[in-house]
C-alpha cells in the first residue's frame, strides 16, 4: 500500500437496471448497497437524477434518499444531484427540508444545472414553465437556501408589500448544499457563493484541473464555509482478481459506447451478454477504451492504492465511488454482489 493518507470514501448511485431485472428489484439492490455502505463506514451516499433511460432507475433522488435514510443510521444521504432546472425551487426546498426532518444532520442537497435527459423529457419536466430558465440557476440556488432556513424567504411584490415563505414550518436544521458540475460554470458559482463543490469526474474526467483551479482560486468565504471544500467522483470496479474486475467493467463500457455514439439504449447487459455480443465498430471501441482508461479497475489493493494517489494528486480528502461492477448471469436480481464486493474490497484495503 502507498504511504499516502487514505481518503474518506462515499458512494454515487444511478440505480442500474439489468436485463431481466424489474425496477423494484433494482431499487432493492441499491437500498441494500446503501446499508452496506453505512456499515462499512462510508461518509455519504448520493443518488443521481436521470430520466427515461432503460438502464437507470434514479429518476427521483428525494424518494430514494428517504428510503435510504430509513434503512441507515449513520451515513449522510443525498442527491448527486437534483437537476434544478427541472424543478420549481420551492418544491426542491420543501422536499429536502422534509428529508432533513426525517434524518436530521444527515442530508446533502447536491444541485446540478444539466437536464439529466434528452430534449423531449426535458420539455415534459418543464411543462409548468416555472423553472425552465437555466440562466436563473444562481438565483434559484439562493432561493432554495433561504427557503430551507429557519428564517425562510421573503417575496417582494412589485406593487409593494412582502410575503413570507417557509419550506417547512419550524426548521431545526438545514441540508448541506453542494454545487455539482462538469465545467467551469458551477465551479465559478460555487466559489462566488462560498459553497462546497463537486466536479463530476466520473462522467468524462475532461476539464478537472481547470474546474478545481477556478473554484479554489475564486473562492469567497461565506457564513457556512470559510475555505474551499471539494471531492471528486470516480468509476470503480474491484474484485478478488484483476481479470474478474475487467469482466465486470465490460457492461458499463458498452453502455457508455451506446450513449456516446447515439446507439439505442438498453438495460444493462450481464457480463456474459457483453462477451457474447461481439465487438462494436471502431468509433465505439475507441469510446470504450477512452472510458476504461479513466476508471479504477482491479483488485481491492491496486484500486485503493490508485485512489489514494488520485486523492493526493488533486488534494482532496474524500473520493466518491460510482461502483459500476456489472453482474453475472445467475446472481441475485434484488442485490448487487459485484457492487457490494467493490465497496468491501476497497474499504478494507484502505483500512489495512
Q: What's the 3-state SS for 226-252?
A: CCCCEEEEEEEEECCCHHHHHHHHHHH
pLDDT at 4 over 60: no
Q: What is the pLDDT of residues 148-207, one digit of tens each?
A: 999 999 988 888 889 999 999 999 999 999 999 988 999 999 999 999 999 999 987 789
What distance in Å separates the CA atoms of residue 242 and residue 262, rounded to the nearest whole number? Answer: 30
Q: Which residue has the cell 432533513?
A: 100
Lowest mean pLDDT among 67-71, 157-161, 249-253: 157-161
Predicted local confidence at residue 1, as pLDDT = 36
CB of 43 closer than 8 Å to CB of 7: no
Mean pLDDT of all residues in 47-67: 96
Question: Is residue 336 pLDDT above 50, yes or no?
Answer: yes
Joined grid coordinates for residue 45:
451516499
Cell 431499487 belongs to 27
Assigned C-alpha cell, 192: 462566488
Position 3 scores a pLDDT of: 46
Mean pLDDT lowest for which of 75-79, 98-102, 128-132? 128-132
Q: Mapping DSSP to helix (H, G, I), strand (E, B) and coil, where does residue 327 land?
A: coil
What local confidence, expressed as pLDDT, does residue 5 receive? 73
CATH class of 8-351: alpha beta
Instruction: Provide the Cα torsion 35, 40, 43, 44; round to 10°.
Output: -20
Q: CA angle 31-271-341, nearest 5°?
A: 40
Question: Residue 113 in 3-state DSSP?
Answer: coil
Instruction: Give the percent of the chain with pLDDT over 90.
Output: 83
pLDDT, average across residues 341-345: 98
- H/E element holding 198? strand 197-199
Task: Report the chain's mean pLDDT, rounded to a whole number.
Answer: 93
Question: Would you state the pLDDT for residue 118?
Answer: 73
Does 345 have pLDDT greater than 50?
yes
Task: Say yes or no to pLDDT of 272 above 50.
Answer: yes
Please state the domain extents for the chain. 8-351
Q: Is the pTM value of this prediction over 0.75?
A: yes
- Structure confidence at residue 322 (pLDDT): 98
Number of H helices and number of E strands within the chain? 12, 11
Residue with cell 465551479: 187
Q: How many residues does the chain have?
A: 352
pLDDT at 315: 96
CA 294 – CA 230 distance, rounded (Å): 19
The stretch 300-306 carries a mean pLDDT of: 98
* Residues of the chain above pLDDT 70, percent: 96
Please, what's the b/e burial string for 254-277 (b: 16 or more CB within 10 A of its CB; e: otherwise)?
A: bbbbbebeeeeeebbbbbbbbeee
Amino acid at each position: 500500500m502507498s504511504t499516502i493518507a487514505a481518503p474518506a470514501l462515499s458512494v454515487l448511485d444511478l440505480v442500474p437496471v439489468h436485463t431481466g431485472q424489474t425496477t423494484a428489484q433494482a431499487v432493492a439492490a441499491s437500498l441494500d448497497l446503501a446499508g452496506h455502505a453505512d456499515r462499512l463506514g462510508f461518509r455519504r451516499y448520493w443518488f443521481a437524477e436521470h430520466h427515461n433511460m432503460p438502464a437507470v432507475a434514479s429518476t427521483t433522488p428525494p424518494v430514494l434518499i428517504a428510503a435510504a435514510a430509513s434503512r441507515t443510521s449513520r451515513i449522510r444521504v443525498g442527491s448527486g444531484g437534483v437537476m434544478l432546472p427541472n424543478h420549481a425551487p420551492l418544491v426542491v426546498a420543501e422536499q429536502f427540508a422534509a428529508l432533513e426532518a426525517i434524518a436530521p444532520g444527515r442530508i446533502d442537497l447536491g444541485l446540478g444545472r444539466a437536464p439529466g435527459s434528452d430534449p423531449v423529457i426535458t420539455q415534459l419536466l418543464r411543462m409548468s414553465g416555472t423553472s425552465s430558465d437555466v440562466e436563473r440557476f444562481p438565483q434559484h440556488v439562493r432561493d432554495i437556501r433561504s427557503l430551507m432556513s429557519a428564517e425562510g424567504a421573503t417575496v417582494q411584490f412589485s406593487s409593494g408589500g412582502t410575503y413570507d415563505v417557509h419550506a417547512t414550518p419550524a426548521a431545526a436544521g438545514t441540508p448541506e448544499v453542494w454545487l455539482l458540475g462538469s465545467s467551469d460554470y458551477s465551479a465559478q458559482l460555487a466559489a462566488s457563493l462560498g459553497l462546497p463543490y463537486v466536479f463530476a469526474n466520473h462522467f468524462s474526467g475532461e476539464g478537472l484541473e481547470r474546474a478545481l483551479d477556478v473554484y479554489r482560486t475564486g473562492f469567497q468565504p461565506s457564513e457556512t464555509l470559510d475555505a474551499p471544500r471539494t471531492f471528486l467522483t470516480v468509476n470503480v470496479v474491484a474484485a478478488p482478481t484483476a481479470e474478474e474486475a475487467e469482466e465486470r467493467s465490460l457492461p458499463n463500457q458498452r453502455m457508455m459506447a451506446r450513449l456516446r455514439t447515439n446507439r439505442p439504449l438498453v438495460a444493462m447487459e450481464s457480463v456474459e451478454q457483453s462477451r457474447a455480443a461481439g465487438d462494436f465498430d471502431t468509433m465505439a471501441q475507441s469510446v470504450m477504451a477512452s472510458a476504461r482508461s479513466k476508471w479504477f479497475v482491479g483488485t481491492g489493493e491496486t484500486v485503493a492504492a490508485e485512489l489514494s494517489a488520485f486523492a493526493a494528486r488533486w488534494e482532496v480528502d474524500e473520493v466518491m465511488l460510482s461502483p459500476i461492477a456489472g453482474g453475472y448471469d445467475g446472481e441475485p436480481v434484488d442485490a448487487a454482489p459485484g457492487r457490494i464486493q467493490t465497496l468491501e474490497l476497497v474499504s478494507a484495503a484502505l483500512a489495512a
